[in-house]
Amino acid sequence: MQEKNSLKTPVRYFKGVGPKKGELLAKLGIGTAEDLLYYLPARYEDRSNLTAIKDLKIGEHQTVEGEVITCTNRIAKSGTRFFQVAVTDRTGFVHATWFNQPYLKDYFKKGQRVILYGKVEVHDKLQILQPEYEILEGDDTDSIHIGRIVPIYSTVAGLGQRYFRSLADTAVSKYCRSLVEKLPTYLLAREKLVDIKFAVRNIHFPATFENLEKAYRRIVFEEFFMLQLALAIKKAHSKASAEGLGHKVSGKLIDSFKNNLSFELTEGQKKAISDISRDMSETRPMNRLLEGDVGSGKTVVAAYALVLTVQNGFQGVIMAPTEVLARQHFIGLSELLMPLGISISLLIGGMTPETKRQVAEEIRSGRIDIVVGTHAVIQESVQFNKLGIAVIDEQHKFGVTQRAILKQKGYNPHILVMTATPIPRTLALTVYGDLDISVIRELPKGRKPIETYWVEEEKRGKAYKFVKEELEKGRQAYVVCPLIKARVQGPGPKGQGATEIYEKLKTEIFPDYTVALLHGKMGLQEKDKVMKEFKKGKIDLLVSTVVIEVGIDVPNASVMLVENAERFGLAQLHQLRGRVGRGEHESYCILLADPKTEEAAKRIRAIENTLDGFQIAEADLDIRGPGEFFGTKQHGLPEIKFGNILKDFDIMERARKEAFGLVAADPALSEEHHQQLKTDLLDKFKDKLELINVA
């Protein structure tokens, strides 16, 4: 039994919604009255202010209303077919033109009144090209469709604007009153927010743009607030005490680690280390994100945390996204930690089952202090004796849920997540909103800025000549290709294959130098050997795929040449460039690129113009939007339907402040005026309920 005006009333009970329309609405995710209320317009048209045809301004987007005088399908001299409607409003004439849509002839009739919206241009005569249109009906003079600010929804074929708008109108007039205010009154007052009924009514049918603005702000605030509330609760929860983790931060081991360092730590590194010491000295587990651009020296900070845990009688693990990177860490950390008498071991998929079993046994017994491996292997096969810290490197490669997996295995260690994708502030507050954050902003002293050049195909020869000069100076170089083997046939973009480029460079271009190949399909031992020899300087030029994208550290390499740079994402290019400029030598990044789209060209220019990873990340976010920024949804970006986390950043900050304040004051949401929030939150995040132990 549905109550009268229940928000859960199915839309198929609405007048004019049959099974067919019902299905189309379902496609848009609309099943109930409530869904309709929260299906927000994509944009608005100010039809309270129609432009008279005689006042149309060339080049601007405008709305006119008029009567159809003629409608014709025509063919231009060029052969293009188009459909044209002449419209008058008694002040003048304008033509609406649509290309390749002859069927429009069935919709328009002489004598109809229509609304047209689009860019006004002059081609022989005054025209609106490919306008959006709406055909008015007799009683539409003072309705929801005209004479006011009109909502335009994004719909599917079969659900016209008029139809959809009428449904929205029904929903608003009959069901808005059933909406329940979930935000406490004090919050509405403090944040100057309108109540939910006003907001929903005005987001659909605003009387003024000012009301629309208020409605939007309220709805977005609520969305962000609920998200931040979940994060605040999750954070409070993950900090619940874990017995015995509180580490003593001074001791012999830590002292000798610090004294053994061959360089002075940067300010950012020192700050991160002090943040970590503070966290790890507490009994509740650390949950910290360490952000730092490529080459900023995150590894040594991680090493510090590992040493700290060993000094306190615990084990540590560091997980990397690829085997190559795990090996790198193993080599790097061995250099730093073995002299201190710390036992460290590698654990990756490519090792023999026997070795793996042996290592796993030593980890279980506690004979091994530090394990370095890929996250997959560590997840499946390891039991720790006494795990004190898990370091997760290059987090953006696997997704935020990684942390939860360790916990599921029964560990509740300190956690340090490291990422070289500088995360724009706005994303940091959402994706990693439950973590504390340390940022290393500067690179170690003495690094020379990397010079970056965008080179076109014709100048390939010159680029090679340049590489040769560097090799002659004793430097090493990378050549990175998008593919292992060139694709010359079939669908999809063509691209340089590492295999072919390798052959060509080895035999034709650099016959006097040692050229090697590295790609993901090679066996582990082979890859390993190549990397080792490159690191030792026995290989001059390494042709590879993006397997070397993250973390590889060879200070003598001074040139990064990227083939088909237009095929790589911004973050990837920035990572690749970060493979050079890691020593005292002047370094260069050469991008061979032939961008076919404006977006690709923008990426190349962004890389060319700045070395600052944070700026690049902002540009990336701007070009691709937040969803794409992290690759896929699984990467932990919560779904945000209404707000725009870039444009509405100020709302996010307010919402966060309020949400964290609320949880600090009422952690279990037990106060009377928080009951509705609690119910809704439990409802909204029911799959992620480990988050909320507030019952």
Residues at the site binding ligand ADP, with contacts judged by CB under 6 A: 263-266, 269, 292, 294-300, 420, 444, 551, 553, 582
Residue 401 to residue 391: CA distance in whole angstroms: 14
For residue 545, the one-letter residue type is: T
Nearer to ligand ADP, 113 or 327 (CB): 327
| Of positions 551, 581, 626, 643, contacts Mg ion by CB under 5 A | 551
Residue 155 interaction partner, one of Mg ion, ligand ADP, none, beta carbon < 5-8 Å per kind: none
Spatial CA neighbour of 320 closest among 366, 358, 377, 382: 377
Q: Which stretch binds Mg ion (CB under 5 A): 139-147, 148-156, 550-558, 599-607?
A: 550-558
- Looking at the Cβ atoms of 151 and 297, the one nearer to ligand ADP is 297
Q: How far is the CB of 263 from ligand ADP (least distance, A)?
A: 4
Nearest distance from residue 177's CB to Mg ion, in Å? 56
CA angle 267, 271, 275 (to 5 degrees): 170
Residues 6+ apart with CB under 8 A from 256: 340
User: Do the beta carbons of residue 155 and residue 132 sit within 8 Å?
Assistant: no
Q: Which is nearer to ligand ADP, 151 or 581 (CB)?
A: 581
CA pseudo-torsion sign 397, 400, 403, 409 = negative
| Size of the residue set binding Mg ion (CB under 5 A) | 1
Task: For the CB of residue 300, give the shortest distance to ligand ADP in the complex, in Å.
Answer: 5
Q: Are 566 and 493 in contact (CB under 8 A)?
A: no
Is the CB of 209 or the CB of 263 nearer to ligand ADP?
263
Residue position matching structure tokens 């370094």: 587
Q: Which is nearer to ligand ADP, 266 or 544 (CB)?
A: 266
Which residue number, 317 or 418, has a Cβ lying nearer to ligand ADP? 418
- List C-alpha distances in Å: 140 to 65, 67, 147, 148, 206: 12, 14, 9, 11, 18
Residue with tokens 């005689």: 54
What is the radius of gyration, based on Cα positions, of the chain?
31
Among candidate residues 184, 58, 77, the one with its CA nearest the CA of residue 122: 58
Q: Least distance from C-beta 390 to Mg ion, angstroms?
A: 16
Comparing CB distances to ligand ADP, the nearer of 56 and 290 is 290
Which residue is nearest to Mg ion, using beta carbons?
551
**Nearer Cβ to Mg ion, position 118 or 551?**
551
How does 649-664 read in b/e, with b if 16+ C-beta sit within 10 Å? Answer: bebbebbbebbbebbe
To ligand ADP, the closest distance from the beta carbon of 422 in angstroms equals 11
**Which segments of 446-510 are extended strands (E)?**
451-455, 476-480
Q: Which parts of 113-251 fold into alpha helices (H)?
A: 161-175, 185-190, 196-204, 209-238
Stretch that binds Mg ion, among 44-52, 74-82, 543-551, 640-648 (CB under 5 A): 543-551
Q: How far is the CB of 298 from Mg ion (least distance, A)?
A: 5
Nearer to ligand ADP, 302 or 498 (CB): 302
CB of 292 to ligand ADP, least distance (A): 5
> Which partner from the list ligand ADP, Mg ion, none does 294 bind, CB cut-off 5 to 8 Å by kind?
ligand ADP
**Shortest CB 616 distance to Mg ion, Å:** 17
How far is it, in rounded angstroms, from Cα 164 to Cα 153? 8
Give me the least distance between CB of 336 and ligand ADP, in Å please: 9
The set of residues, in sequence order, having a beta carbon less than 8 Å from that of 294 and lying 6+ positions away, is: 420, 574, 575, 577, 578, 579, 613
- Work out how close the CB of 300 gets to Mg ion at its nearest, in angstroms, rounded to a whole number: 10
Q: Give the one entry of ligand ADP, Mg ion, none that residue 265 binds, where binding means its C-beta sits below a cut-off of 5 to 8 angstroms depending on kind.
A: ligand ADP
Name which of 299 and 309 has its Cβ closer to ligand ADP. 299
Beta carbons within 8 Å of 409's beta carbon, 6+ residues apart: 379, 383
Q: C-beta of 78: minimal distance to ligand ADP in Å?
A: 55
Please choose, out of 3-11, 121-129, 488-496, 546-554, the segment that lies near Mg ion by the rule CB under 5 A. Answer: 546-554
167 phi-psi bin (left φ>0, alpha ψ -120 to 50, beta other): alpha
- For the bound state, the minimum distance from the C-beta of residue 452 to ligand ADP, rounded and expressed in Å, comes to 18
Looking at the Cβ atoms of 399 and 551, the one nearer to Mg ion is 551
Instruction: Pick one of Mg ion, ligand ADP, none as the site partner of residue 263 (Cβ within 5 to 8 A by kind).
Output: ligand ADP
DSSP label of 641: S
CB 610 within 8 A of CB 574: no
Helix then strand then coil, in percent of the chain rounded to 5, is: 45, 20, 35
Closest CB to Mg ion among 550 and 662?
550
The answer to whether 94 and 127 are in contact (CB under 8 A) is: yes
CB of 552 to ligand ADP, least distance (A): 9
List the single partner that 322 binds among Mg ion, ligand ADP, none, CB under 5 to 8 Å by kind: none
User: Cβ of residue 393: shortest distance to ligand ADP, in angstroms?
Assistant: 8
Report whether 195 contacts 219 (CB < 8 A).
no
638 binds, among ligand ADP, Mg ion, none (CB under 5 to 8 A by kind): none
Interacting stretch for Mg ion, rule CB under 5 A, among 122-130, 486-494, 547-555, 683-691? 547-555
d(CA 298, CA 514): 31
As measured in angstroms, the least distance from the Cβ of 553 to ligand ADP is 5
For 119, 332, 615, the CA distances from 612, given in Å and listed in that order, are 39, 25, 5
Nearer to ligand ADP, 131 or 297 (CB): 297
Structure tokens at 210: 């000012």
Interaction of residue 482 with Mg ion, rule CB under 5 A: no
Which tokens hold the place of 287?
């949950």
In whole angstroms, how close is the CB of 298 to ligand ADP at the nearest point? 4
Here the tokens at position 157 are 């074929």
User: Binds 99, which of ligand ADP, Mg ion, none (CB < 5 to 8 A, cut-off by type)?
Assistant: none
Cβ closest to ligand ADP, residue 131 vs residue 292:
292
Choose between 118 and 551: whose C-beta lies nearer to ligand ADP.
Answer: 551
- How far is 558 from 467, CA to CA, in rounded Å? 9
User: Rounded to an integer, what distance in angstroms lies between the CA atom of residue 147 and that of residue 457?
Assistant: 57
Q: Which does 582 bind (CB under 5 to 8 A by kind): ligand ADP, Mg ion, none?
A: ligand ADP
Using the contact rule CB under 5 A, the part of the chain among 18-26, 65-73, 278-286, 549-557 near Mg ion is 549-557
What residue 311 binds from Mg ion, ligand ADP, none (CB within 5 to 8 A, per partner kind)? none
Alpha carbons 422 and 425: distance in angstroms, whole number: 9
- Choose from Mg ion, ligand ADP, none: what does 575 bind? Cβ within 5-8 Å by kind: none
Q: State how far the alpha carbon of 648 is from the alpha carbons of 204, 208, 370, in Å.
A: 20, 21, 43
Q: Which is nearer to ligand ADP, 298 or 414 (CB)?
A: 298
Dist. CA 179–CA 222, nearest whole Å: 14
Any bridge partners for residue 123, and if so which? 125
- Residue 295 binds: one of Mg ion, ligand ADP, none (C-beta under 5 to 8 A by kind): ligand ADP
The token pair at 269 is 């590194």
| Residue whose Cβ sits closest to ligand ADP | 297
Binding site partner of 444, from Mg ion, ligand ADP, none, Cβ cut-off 5-8 A by kind: ligand ADP
Binding site for Mg ion (CB under 5 A): 551
